[in-house]
């Protein structure tokens, strides 16, 4: 798995899958709101219909959303906004990565760096995403005679609508992530 950080608008980024969060109150994250505006209210309509409630770890995959350059839009439940912290961030990251892993997507952009986690910076958030990806993709097959085919996935971690520079991989790795992207 390869990782990189970029600044990009979620609705204009042509990737196989773009992931954004939804809180339990059906409040959209900044990225989900941008996707909704580009899709002329399609995401909010989906929430009103009850197809997504924003409960922690729930996901909803949408295909070919008009106005969005990505082939797929993955909505990820973030739980209660007031209770959103470190554990919730890691849980939503795992849910998003597991959902992306189940698709045929070869690349994905996760707009989770924008989510506020009290006392944590962008480097911590990026490191948590890398560690979650390592957990989700790990397969023990040393003892198997026929090993599963390895699937390469390019993961982009985005910091949306912020002026700060995203952390470099050397910063993330220096703080405890794997020394090279998996």
Distance CA 121, CA 117 (A): 8
Q: What is the pLDDT of residues 41-93, one digit of tens each?
A: 999 999 999 999 999 999 999 999 999 999 999 999 999 999 999 999 999 99
Pairing between β-strand 2-6 and β-strand 107-110 as defined by DSSP bridges: unpaired
Distance CA 100, CA 41 (A): 23
Q: Of 83, 167, 156, which Cα lies nearest the Cα of 117?
A: 83
Secondary structure element (H or E) that encloses residue 133, with its range: helix 122-137
CB–CB of 96/87 below 8 Å? no
Task: Locate the domains of the chain by residue range.
Answer: 2-139+152-174
Confidence of residue 130 (pLDDT cuts 50, 70, 90): confident
- What is the structure's pLDDT at 135? 85
DSSP 10: G
Distance CA 152, CA 87 (A): 27
Distance CA 134, CA 148 (A): 16
Percent of the chain with pLDDT over 90: 57
Give the least confident one: 2-6, 89-93, 140-144: 140-144
Instruction: Using the predicted structure, report yes or no on whether residue 37 has a pLDDT greater than 90.
Output: yes
Instruction: Using the predicted structure, report yes or no on whether residue 182 has a pLDDT greater than 50.
Output: no
Secondary structure element (H or E) that encloses residue 3, with its range: strand 2-6
CATH for the stretch 2-139+152-174: 3.40.220.10
Secondary structure element (H or E) that encloses residue 129, with its range: helix 122-137
Distance CA 45, CA 152 (A): 34
36-41 long-range contacts, CB within 8 A, separation 24+: 37/11, 38/11, 38/12, 38/67, 38/68, 39/11, 39/65, 39/66, 39/67, 39/68, 39/73, 40/66, 40/67
């Amino acid at each position: 798995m390869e990782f990189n950080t970029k600044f990009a608008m979620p609705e204009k980024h042509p990737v196989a899958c773009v992931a954004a969060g939804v809180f339990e109150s059906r409040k959209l994250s900044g990225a989900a709101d941008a996707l909704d505006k580009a899709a002329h209210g399609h995401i909010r309509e989906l929430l009103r219909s009850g197809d997504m409630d924003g409960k922690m770890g729930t996901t909803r995959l949408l295909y070919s959303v008009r106005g969005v350059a990505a082939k797929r839009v993955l909505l990820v439940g973030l739980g209660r906004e007031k209770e959103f912290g470190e554990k919730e961030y890691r849980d939503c990251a795992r849910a998003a990565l597991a959902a992306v892993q189940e698709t045929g997507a070869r690349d994905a952009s996760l707009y989770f760096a924008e989510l506020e986690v009290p006392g944590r910076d962008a480097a911590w958030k990026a490191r948590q995403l890398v560690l979650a990806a390592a957990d989700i993709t790990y397969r023990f097959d040393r003892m198997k005679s026929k090993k599963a085919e390895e699937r390469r996935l390019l993961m982009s971690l985005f910091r949306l609508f912020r002026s700060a520079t995203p952390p470099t991989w050397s910063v993330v790795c220096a703080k405890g992530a794997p020394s090279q992207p998996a």
